[in-house]
Amino acid sequence: MKKLKDEKELLKKAIIVGVKYAEARGAAQFEGSDSAAVKIEYIYRLLVRDKLIQPVPEDQISQQTMKHKLALWISKQ
């Protein structure tokens, strides 16, 4: 997995866009106290379910791979 240039900034943007997407779709209501890890996992699984990103095999899923997939997703927006 090759790290993207500015991956941290892309991830921050992906979380913001992903939260708005999930809330607009009526799939989730996030609280201010929700951790970034919770948001990342929920957004990743929602985007996979909606077939907006390719899933990672279940045995290879980790926070790092979910972060990377979200950064890739937002970089293509």
Task: Count CB atoms within 10 A of the CB of residue 76.
Answer: 6
Give the pLDDT of the chain (77 residues) as one tens digit per residue. Answer: 677 789 999 999 999 999 999 999 999 898 888 899 999 999 999 999 999 999 999 999 999 999 999 999 999 98
Domain ranges in the chain? Answer: 35-77
Q: Judging by beta carbons within 10 Å of its beta carbon (0-12, 13-18, 19+), is residue 47 exposed, middle or buried?
A: buried
> What single DSSP character describes residue 2?
P
The widest CA-to-CA distance across the chain, in whole angstroms, is 33
Residue 72 tokens read as 């890739």
- Which pair of structure tokens corresponds to residue 13? 């943007």
